[in-house]
């Protein structure tokens, strides 16, 4: 997989456990140049914790060309990020959208009790931001470019505990398909990567520890997937190797999504 001469944006790295960082590393180690965004820091945070967490990673790579804040709920800020990318790179070849958020209180309660304000917040950050970023990227994307977003199986089937975020992922996957159509005539592909449970900041909030054991016992491969495996697949979706794929949800979950029964877990049920 080669990214020599390719340039793009990585949106959503929070720390070294982020799936977005696993994908970005694969791209940069294959020769690609990346611009990064981070969560804006509060004005009263003199230590700039959000920026520092990401800069500690990007500072180690010469082809990590810039790191700037982006507020996923601010259209003007999103446009300014892509304008900055255009000034730095000219045209770009890829965008990774790895942005999602739901209020912890709404995540922890049954879906039926999701607050209206919490629902709107989760959908705005987790779904609408993909539309806004795609619109901002459209004028500066090279033909043959690619956009990838991050989903999870909870958007396809009910996964208790994933709750309102499952609804957001279902909407995100629908948005991805419509964007694939809208951008297809520009030669730009749009896909989603659906990873199995991974220990990330977002994963911990969604109860990933309980899911790891379940996947290990149910997935055909009989194990969980690694950051590196998800990173390689994400880079693939943003590379020329996937140039005939668009509107797709690519699962990296050891085959868990293909199961119609508990599989080997049945052996543990008393006869």
**160 pLDDT more than 70:** yes
Question: Residues, the chain, total?
Answer: 271
State the number of CA atoms in the 13 A half-sphere of 169 facing the CB.
22
The residue among 264 and 146 whose pLDDT is bigger is 146
**61 pLDDT more than 90:** yes
Q: Among all residues, which ones are annotated catalytic?
A: 152, 162
Q: What is the mean pLDDT of the chain?
A: 93
**30 pLDDT more than 70:** yes
Confidence of residue 245 (pLDDT cuts 50, 70, 90): very high
Average pLDDT over residues 231-254: 98
> What are the phi and psi torsion angles at 24 (to 5°)?
-60, -40
Q: Give the list of residues 6+ apart from residue 168 with CB closer than 8 angstroms, or none.
A: 100, 102, 122, 123, 126, 127, 155
| DSSP string of 90-105, one letter each residue | SSEEEEEE------HH
- Please tell me the predicted confidence (pLDDT) of residue 47: 82
**Domains of the chain in sequence order:** 7-258 (3.40.50.720)
41: burial class by Cβ within 10 Å (0-12, 13-18, 19+)? Answer: middle
The predicted model scores a pTM of 0.94
């Amino acid at each position: 997989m080669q990214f020599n001469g390719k340039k793009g944006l990585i949106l959503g790295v929070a720390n070294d456990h982020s799936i977005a960082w696993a994908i970005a590393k694969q791209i940069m180690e294959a020769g690609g140049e990346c611009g990064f965004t981070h969560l804006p820091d509060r004005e009263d945070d003199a230590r700039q914790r959000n920026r520092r967490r990401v800069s500690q990673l990007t500072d180690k790579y010469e082809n990590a060309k810039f790191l700037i804040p982006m507020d996923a709920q601010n259209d003007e800020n999103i446009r300014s990020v892509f304008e900055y990318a255009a000034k730095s790179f000219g045209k770009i070849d890829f965008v990774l959208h790895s942005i999602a958020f739901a209020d912890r209180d709404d995540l922890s309660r049954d879906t039926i009790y999701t607050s209206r304000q919490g629902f709107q917040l989760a959908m705005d950050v987790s779904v609408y931001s993909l539309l806004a970023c795609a619109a901002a990227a459209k004028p500066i994307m090279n033909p043959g470019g690619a956009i990838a977003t991050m989903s999870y199986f909870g958007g396809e089937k009910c996964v208790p505990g994933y709750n309102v975020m499952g609804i957001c992922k279902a909407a995100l996957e629908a948005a991805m398909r419509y964007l694939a159509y809208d951008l297809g005539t520009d030669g730009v592909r749009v896909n989603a990567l659906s990873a199995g449970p991974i220990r990330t900041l977002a994963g911990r909030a969604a109860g990933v520890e309980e899911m790891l054991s379940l996947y290990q016992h149910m997935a055909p491969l009989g194990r969980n997937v690694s950051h590196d495996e998800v990173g390689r697949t994400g880079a693939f979706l943003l590379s020329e190797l996937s140039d005939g794929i668009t509107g797709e949800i690519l699962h990296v979950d050891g085959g868990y999504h293909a199961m119609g029964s508990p599989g080997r877990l049945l052996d543990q049920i008393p006869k």
